[in-house]
Amino acid sequence: MKPPLIVIVGPTAVGKTEISIQLAERLNGEIVSADSRLFYCGMDIGTAKPSPAERLRLPHHLIDVANPDETWSLALFQHAAEQAIAGIHRRGKLPFLVGGTGQYIHAVTHGWSPPATSPDIPLRTVLEALAKSQGNDWLHQRLALLDPPAAAAIDSRNLRRTVRALEVVFSTGRRFSAQRGQGESPYRLLTIGLIRPRPELYARVDARIEAMFRDGLLDEVRRFLAHGYTPDLPTMSAIGYRECALVLRGELSLEDAKVHMRKLTRTFVRRQANWFKAQDAEINWFDAGEVKVDEIEKEIRIFLEE
């Protein structure tokens, strides 16, 4: 029998962190983060990373595993996540894969293999130059014309992944999204989806952004800049970091930064919702504002006894 894996998904600010911790505590579990923003040391407040107190409650994996000037690819994450899950099973515990980055989750649960196309450095240089002269959004729109599924799954602020997708398209003449191999899942899966009504979710997003600034987001970004990290790093595409850098440079007001962050996060929430909607048949949905953890725990225990 395949080993079990509990997957907990949902949009940003829905409440995945606390619910997943409670479930893992009750079910002798450990958490593997599938949120690409949480890989990087020091990026704590702006990514709503689980607090030190929350992480002391039980083991968390794939948080703070890289420096901000390093890049964790999907393939690197997939390998590390599979190793972490195997280790949890060896310890006789139940793994929980938790996050909102749909592609990263699907890569693990469905055995994805990325396109084998070798890097084309001259082409990559041209694409990066186009992004610099025309803007990241312009380049992302070109990807949307050539490969709509790939563009829908890639944040327009993520230049590295946009460039890689276009690089594969131009090098092979085939869609990037069509070249991703998919095998049989190595796990027996139960996927729990957490959702809230959109107005409630947006209100939680707004409250989270205000809390980030109260908790010292500007100081966090100030420390980054003092350590020599620049706003054009791929990791700094996480919502809030470049906006704060502009505030610190006097190029953007604090209120305008908040407005921009709210707008970007709403777009991000919609993109997450569209991704999970496409996987809807595989997901057991619960309203995070109404469900009791007991109900989800019961669902998991029934699954484990099957």
pLDDT of residue 212: 97
- Angle of helix 102-109 relative to helix 254-278, nearest 10 degrees? 30
CA-wise closest residue to 213 among 249, 262, 266, 250: 262
Same fold, 4-114+181-305 and 121-179: no
Topology (CATH level 3) of domain 4-114+181-305: Rossmann fold (3.40.50)
pLDDT of residue 114: 63
Q: Are 51 and 231 in contact (CB under 8 A)?
A: no
The overall pTM is greater than 0.85? no
CB crowding 94-103: b at 16 or more within 10 Å, else e: bbbbbbbbbb
Kindly give the confidence (pLDDT) of every residue in the chain, 306 residues in length, as a single tens digit, with 9 standing for 90 and above: 899 999 999 999 999 999 999 999 999 999 999 998 899 999 999 999 999 999 999 999 999 999 999 888 888 999 999 999 999 999 999 999 999 888 889 889 988 766 656 677 888 888 888 888 888 888 999 998 888 877 877 777 778 788 888 988 888 788 887 766 566 789 999 999 999 999 999 999 999 999 999 999 999 999 999 999 988 888 888 999 999 999 999 999 999 999 999 999 999 898 888 888 777 778 999 999 998 999 999 999 999 998
CATH no., domain 121-179: 1.10.20.140
CA-wise closest residue to 282 among 26, 5, 3: 5
Domains in the chain: boundaries: 4-114+181-305, 121-179
Q: Are 77 and 36 in contact (CB under 8 A)?
A: yes
